[in-house]
């Protein structure tokens, strides 16, 4: 789980990084696989008993905690990423901003009161 809140700005920064590294959303993962390292521990479900946890962000203030971002809400997209599916991971990555906008932004967002945590599996 990262420390940055999901936002259009955060996505643009990651997208720029992906483009600088060759334009594939899976390039770092492919490199880890070639090196025999497996998935990054932050995204590997094995680390949490094959469950991706969504944790609400509580900030300490004086003698109590404050929920700053709303209750955590996991939104999971599943797709076939086997070799026969070509660039599906890149397609899914590019669709994330649209999905986020539909759920978390606008005049009356469906999940606007939640801390939206998206994962593509």
CB 60 within 8 A of CB 67: no
d(CA 93, CA 50): 22
**Which residues on adjacent β-strands are paired with residue 77?**
120
In whole numbers, what is the pLDDT of the chain averaged over residues? 79
* pLDDT tens-digit map of 88-113: 777 877 888 888 888 888 888 888 88
What pLDDT is recorded for position 65? 93
Give all strands (DSSP E) within the chain, no chain letters.
58-61, 64-67, 72-77, 115-120
d(CA 116, CA 110): 11
Total-model pTM: 0.53
* pLDDT tens-digit map of 34-64: 898 877 776 666 666 666 667 888 889 999 9
What pLDDT is recorded for position 3? 57
């Amino acid at each position: 789980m990262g420390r940055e809140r999901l936002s259009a700005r955060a996505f643009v920064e990651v997208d720029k990084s992906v483009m600088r590294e060759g334009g594939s959303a899976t390039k770092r993962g492919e490199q880890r696989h070639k090196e025999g390292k497996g998935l990054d521990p932050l995204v590997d479900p094995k680390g949490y008993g094959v469950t991706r946890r969504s944790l609400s962000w509580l900030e300490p203030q004086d003698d109590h905690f404050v929920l700053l971002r709303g209750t955590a809400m996991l939104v999971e997209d599943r797709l076939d990423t086997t070799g026969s599916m070509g660039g599906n991971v890149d397609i899914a990555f590019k669709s994330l901003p649209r999905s986020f906008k539909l759920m978390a932004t606008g005049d009356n967002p469906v999940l606007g009161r939640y801390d939206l945590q998206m994962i593509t599996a």
